[in-house]
Copies of this chain bind each other. A is one copy, B any other.
Amino acid sequence: MRIITHLTVPARSGRSVELRAGQVLRVVDLEGTQVADLVAVSQADRHEYLDTSRTCSMLNRIYFRAGDQLLTNLRRPILDVIRDDVGRHDMQMAACDERRYQLDFGAIDHPNCLANLTQALDSFGFNWWEVPNPVNIFQSTPVQDDGSFIQLPAQSRAGDCVELRALMDVLVAVSACPQDYVPINGLQPTPIGLEVLDGVAS
């Protein structure tokens, strides 16, 4: 596959990219142990978006893996997971937001994924309450027998990636998670790389 565009999502911030159906988004953990919150919306209808709950329901499990299709709120495939170097991600936890840092850590104006995603989608006319629940790539917060999460450092190492093929024209936003109170990012938020590939086997 040939790289069409690439960009860096700076640590603690967000960016958006647009993909045509068939193109591939490579999400790269550039330095390791870094979570990337990702949302995806159909270009044809902004009311259709990658829906974590319907994806889990259709997969009949709460984790995705290579070979899975992620689905929209119309249960249509939107992204195909064609490569996964890590095998440990999350689809249950909400994006961190301003209130999360206030309530749990007493931190005011802390950078957060919801603000990053909202800002990344701002020029496309999204309000914060329209930002879907994200897929948390590289996030290692597995669910225990009693239903509780353990919050572990991401298992991704520098250069590890996930590749997602767009199955429709899609707008994607990614936040390099700014969480530095719990160890999911190794207490040191770092950037995420995004590469858009033409999707053609070379």
Contacts and interface: CB of A to CB of B under 8 A. Distances in A.
Main DSSP-derived SS at the A contact region: loop
B92 A149 contact: no
Contacts of A51: 94
Q: Which of A47, A57, A58, A149 is packed against the most chain B CB atoms within 10 Å? A: A57
A56 interface: yes
**Size category of the binding interface on chain A:** 35 or more
A44 interface: no
A2 interface: no
A200 to B, nearest CB: 29
A202 interface: no
Given A73-B129, A129-B47, A53 B143 contact: no
Contacts of A143: 61-62, 143, 147
Interface of A: 47-48, 51-54, 56-58, 60-63, 73-76, 92-94, 97, 99-100, 103-104, 127, 129, 133, 142-143, 145-149
